[in-house]
Amino acid sequence: MKKIGMIMVLVIALSISLYAGGASETDSSGKTELVKLRLGYMPNLISASLGAIGIEEGYFEEYGLDVELIKFTSGPPEFAAMAAGDLDAAIIGHGAHLLAIQGQAEIFYFECLGNSDKIMALTSSGIASARDLKGKTIAAVRGTSSEALLNLTLAEAGLTEKDVKIVSMDQNGAASALIARQVDAAALWSPLTVTVSNELGDSVIVVSSIGDFADRAPSPGSWIISEKTIKTKPEIVKRLTKALFKASDFRAANIEKAAEYVAKLIGTETSQTLQEVQTARWFTAKEIYDFTKSGQLDTWYEAEQQMFIDSGKLDAKVPNETYFAKQFMLESYEEMQNEK
């Protein structure tokens, strides 16, 4: 009887263990349960498009994800929300990659190369080139891609931050200050670059754009997630990666529809988001996979680290693998090909 009793205890324990291990994956009907994920984005075509496409085209649901999109004004607040447990994953621009390099989150998906950041200046302030920024007041968001572009622009002109007056404010504030002529220049990204151009017309010039430095200063858009989630829920990360791959393919083939979805999400006109189509290089799933497999992404991320070192933001390079979990793109894409 003791042996029979012991066997029954083991059987019950095993049953409970199996149920607990699979409860988050399937329900009683055998279907994949929807897992709730909160994804951060910024209200522009680059940052919001994959999330909007994933919802509108049903890609998140296809992979068992119930996604809530949460709006942010820049990357650093997304890291703070993730650290507080209020956000699961997010897309970031170039400047916020510094926080990932410093270990505050891990990159699991590469989305695009941005070309939206610009230094815009008032002609009435006597600014015709980067050298003319000396002694001028410039609005910028600290810790973002726009600040990184400002540092590159100043260095190219033989200047440093000490040669200008940088006023720290958010993007909306920076754009408003420039339009109101309260500052001489501003470091901006889309869609506010479009807003400023429309408002000021010939009264404003583009001093530089991130595309001017593309050969040595890549501006990647990447998705981040916490190290804890990567370690404890790798299958969820893979499901999210697959949905993002599908959304990337859709965007590459249907950029106008993607702009429509983003306009719906952020509450603006499609004509506005269509003006942002040239603000990035949009890649297909295969291109992203090939960049990962060939080591091109590693090259871009290493170049990005060097930019942070050159600007004094980072002391020394760290191995990419400490913050770049590229296995999710490799494994997810290969699994998707086998599923066809």
* Structure confidence by residue, pLDDT tens digits, 226-244: 999 999 999 999 999 999 9
pLDDT exceeds 90 at position 28: no
pLDDT score for 16? 35
pLDDT score for 32? 61
The Cα–Cα gap between 274 and 178 comes to: 23
pLDDT score for 182? 98
Q: What's the pLDDT tens digit per position in 244-303?
A: 999 999 999 999 999 999 999 999 999 999 999 988 999 999 999 999 999 999 999 999
* pTM metric for this prediction: 0.80
- Residue that wins the pLDDT comparison between 23 and 208: 208
pLDDT category at 21 given cuts 50, 70, 90 is very low
3-state SS assignment for residue 41? strand
pLDDT score for 31? 56
Q: Which of 101, 105, 109 is nearest to 51 (CA)?
A: 109
The Cα–Cα gap between 134 and 123 comes to: 14
pLDDT category at 123 given cuts 50, 70, 90 is very high
- Residues whose CB falls within 8 Å of the CB of residue 283, separated by 6 or more in sequence, listed in order: 111, 112, 248, 252, 291
H or E stretch including 121? strand 118-122
> Which domains are delineated in the chain?
33-113+217-339 (3.40.190.10), 118-213 (3.40.190.10)
Q: What's the pLDDT tens digit per position in 53-107?
A: 999 999 999 999 999 999 999 999 999 999 999 999 999 998 899 999 999 999 9
Helix axes 285-294, 296-310, angle to 10 degrees: 70
- Measured in degrees and rounded to the nearest 5, phi and psi for residue 217 equal -135, 75
Mean pLDDT of the residues in the chain: 90
Q: How far is CA 175 from CA 155, 183, 192, 232, 295, in A?
A: 23, 10, 6, 41, 37
3-state SS assignment for residue 214? coil
